[in-house]
C-alpha cells in the first residue's frame, strides 16, 4: 500500500471517529424515559435564592425537564441542580451530568479518569454498548482499546478546536490538522 493511500485511509478513519464524536446521537422512542422530557409549560420561580420551575399543572419539575428547548435537571424537591462545576448528580435513582448553570450535558464526556455517555437530557447511559464502547452499571466505560481510542480522539479534537465553534468549523479544523504537517501516526497502530 503506497504512502499516499495509507494517509488517505488514516484521514478517513479519523474523520469517521471525529464525526461520530461530534454528531448528536438520536434518541430512540423505545428507550426508557425515566424523567420528564416533553417541553414543559410554566414559569420560573425563586425561593430563598433557589430556582424552581413550576409547571402549568402546579407541580414542580423533577429530574430532567425540557424548558424552551433546553434541558435542565431538578432535584426530587424541584430545586434546579447547580453544582459548583459540571458533575454527575443522582436524582430519583437516575444519574445525570449537569452543568454549573443546571443545564443537562449530553454526549461523550471525560469525567475524572472515566468516560461516560449521556443523552441530551443529561441521563447517563448504563449497562449498554454505545459505538463499540461498553458502559458499566455506573455508566463508566470499560477501559479497553475502544475506550482508549475514543479518549485519544476526544483529547485531540479538543486540542485542535474551540468548544464554542460550530460542528462545521470543528470538522474543518480537524481536517486541517490531519491533512497538515502536524499530524503524525505510527506505521502499525496509532499511539494509544
pTM for this predicted structure = 0.73
CA angle 72/157/148 to nearest 5° reads: 90
Q: Collapsing DSSP states into helix, strand and coil, what is residue 150?
A: helix
Residue 72 has φ and ψ, to the nearest 5°, of -125, 155
Ordered structural domains, the chain, with CATH: 3-25+32-179 (2.10.270.10)
What number of other Cβ atoms are within 10 A of residue 180's Cβ? 9
Spans of the chain, pLDDT less than 50: 23-37
The per-residue pLDDT for range 78-105, each reduced to its tens digit, is 999 999 999 999 999 999 999 999 999 9
Cell of 177: 490538522
pLDDT of amino acid 186 = 55
pLDDT of amino acid 156 = 85
CA 149, CA 108: separation in Å to the nearest integer? 13
CA 162, CA 33: separation in Å to the nearest integer? 33
CA 7, CA 10: separation in Å to the nearest integer? 5
pLDDT of amino acid 141 = 97
Query: What is the residue whose three cell numbers read 463499540?
Result: 132
Amino acid at each position: 500500500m503506497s504512502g499516499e493511500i495509507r494517509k488517505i485511509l488514516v484521514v478517513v478513519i479519523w474523520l469517521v471517529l471525529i464525526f461520530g464524536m461530534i454528531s448528536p446521537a438520536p434518541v430512540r422512542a423505545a428507550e426508557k424515559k425515566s424523567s420528564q422530557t416533553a417541553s414543559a409549560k410554566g414559569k420560573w420561580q425563586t425561593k430563598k435564592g433557589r430556582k424552581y420551575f413550576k409547571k402549568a399543572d402546579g407541580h414542580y419539575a423533577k429530574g430532567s425537564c425540557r424548558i424552551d428547548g433546553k434541558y435542565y435537571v431538578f432535584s426530587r424537591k424541584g430545586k434546579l441542580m447547580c453544582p459548583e462545576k459540571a458533575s454527575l448528580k443522582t436524582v430519583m435513582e437516575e444519574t445525570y451530568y449537569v452543568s454549573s448553570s443546571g443545564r443537562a450535558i449530553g454526549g461523550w464526556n471525560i469525567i475524572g479518569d472515566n468516560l461516560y455517555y449521556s443523552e441530551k437530557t443529561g441521563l447517563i447511559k448504563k449497562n449498554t454498548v454505545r459505538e463499540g464502547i461498553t458502559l458499566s452499571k455506573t455508566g463508566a466505560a470499560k477501559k479497553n482499546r475502544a475506550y482508549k481510542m475514543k479518549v485519544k480522539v476526544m483529547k485531540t479534537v479538543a486540542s485542535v478546536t474551540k468548544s464554542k465553534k460550530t460542528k462545521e468549523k470543528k470538522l474543518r479544523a480537524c481536517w486541517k490538522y490531519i491533512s497538515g504537517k502536524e499530524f503524525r501516526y505510527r506505521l502499525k497502530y496509532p499511539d494509544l
